[in-house]
């Protein structure tokens, strides 16, 4: 590589790193993800997203306006071909405290899921349950996950198409059992940028061998749809993501979020659905 090309590559790499740091810092500030004194458990799967998450949080920690600690936690699910030395070697080299949990969820998934069916959902639930239990038991105040902008938009369409629900994946949430606060600092980051960054940094990526790197087919279809849209209409995915953060309840149709019944009401009285269907004695089927 010529010196000019090397210099250009270095400049582009610096721009990418700066952009990702800015986006992570913005997400943390917008949603108050990390506060003074927080003990943040960073869930490290061994994939590009979680490596990037840990790396960027370490960079921001050095200059953050608040003091917080980071602890990497990985779950060894006893998958075939798993190398137990990869993560300890990497984390030891960069000086990050870590914990490797061991739980044979592989056998559970293989026993429960019928042959040929997608294993991702059950595998994810078991992994999440073990990590969340550990975070609560050890007193971590925040759990950091590596989901990015594209994950969030894909989840929006998965829920829309398959669950008839208008919901996505929030940058910050309290777990269903109320015990943990989960944060997603990569919420503003594009997957392509994360992939480029991981390649530049040379992270020791650990492939998922539970089911031959099987991917949820529904999510794969959504990813392909969004990829096609982005190629034909650049910026569309970003606009969809921005729309998630700019919701107008009065322009939708959920009476739990907006009181449509009271809008323009003169008497203040509300008739039930049954009264409207059967109010004059007519058959509801008519």
Residue numbers in the known binding site for [4Fe-4S] cluster are 120, 123, 211
Distance (Å, rounded) from C-alpha 90 to C-alpha 202? 11
Place of tokens 């790197």: 213
- From residue 100, alpha-carbon distances to 88, 103, 122 in Å are 8, 10, 21
Residues whose CB falls within 8 Å of the CB of residue 135, separated by 6 or more in sequence, listed in order: 41, 73, 143, 179, 180
Q: Which two tokens stand for residue 195?
A: 């992939």
Element (DSSP H or E) covering residue 73: strand 69-76
Q: Residue by residue, what is the 3-state secondary structure of 207-222?
A: CCCCCCCCCCHHHHHH
How many other CB atoms are there within 10 angstroms of residue 147's CB atom? 22
Identify the DSSP state of 39. E
Q: Which two tokens stand for residue 21?
A: 């740091």
| Residue 138 DSSP SS3 | helix
Distance (Å, rounded) from C-alpha 36 to C-alpha 64? 10
Binding-site annotation, residues: 120, 123, 211
Contact 85, 184 (CB under 8 A): no
Q: Which two tokens stand for residue 236?
A: 């569309």
How many other CB atoms are there within 10 angstroms of residue 286's CB atom? 5
Place of tokens 């594009």: 190
How many other CB atoms are there within 10 angstroms of residue 173's CB atom? 14
């Amino acid at each position: 590589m010529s010196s000019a090309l090397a210099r250009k590559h270095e400049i582009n790499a610096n721009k990418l790193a700066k952009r990702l740091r800015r986006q992570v810092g913005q997400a943390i500030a917008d949603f108050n993800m990390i506060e003074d004194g927080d003990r943040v458990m960073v869930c490290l799967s061994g994939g590009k997203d979680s490596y990037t998450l840990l790396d960027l949080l370490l960079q921001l920690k050095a200059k953050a306006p608040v003091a917080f600690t980071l602890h990497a936690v990985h779950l060894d699910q006893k998958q075939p071909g798993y190398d137990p030395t990869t993560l300890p070697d990497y984390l030891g080299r960069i000086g990050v405290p870590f914990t490797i949990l061991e739980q044979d969820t592989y056998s559970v998934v293989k026993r429960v899921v019928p042959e040929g069916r997608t294993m991702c959902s059950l595998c994810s639930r078991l992994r999440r349950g073990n990590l969340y239990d550990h975070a609560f038991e050890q007193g971590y105040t925040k759990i950091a996950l590596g989901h990015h902008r594209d994950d969030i938009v894909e989840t929006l369409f998965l829920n829309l198409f398959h669950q008839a629900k208008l919901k996505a994946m929030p940058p910050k949430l309290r777990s269903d059992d109320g015990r943990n606060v989960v944060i997603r600092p990569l919420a503003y980051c594009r997957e392509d940028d994360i992939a480029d960054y991981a390649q530049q940094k040379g992270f020791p990526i650990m492939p998922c061998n539970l089911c031959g790197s099987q991917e949820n087919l529904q999510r794969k279809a959504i990813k392909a749809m969004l990829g096609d849209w982005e190629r034909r209409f650049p910026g569309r995915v970003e606009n969809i993501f921005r729309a998630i953060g700019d919701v107008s309840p009065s322009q939708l149709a959920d009476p739990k979020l907006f009181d449509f019944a009271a809008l323009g009401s003169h008497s203040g009285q509300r008739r039930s659905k049954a009264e409207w269907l059967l109010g004059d004695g007519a058959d509801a089927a008519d």
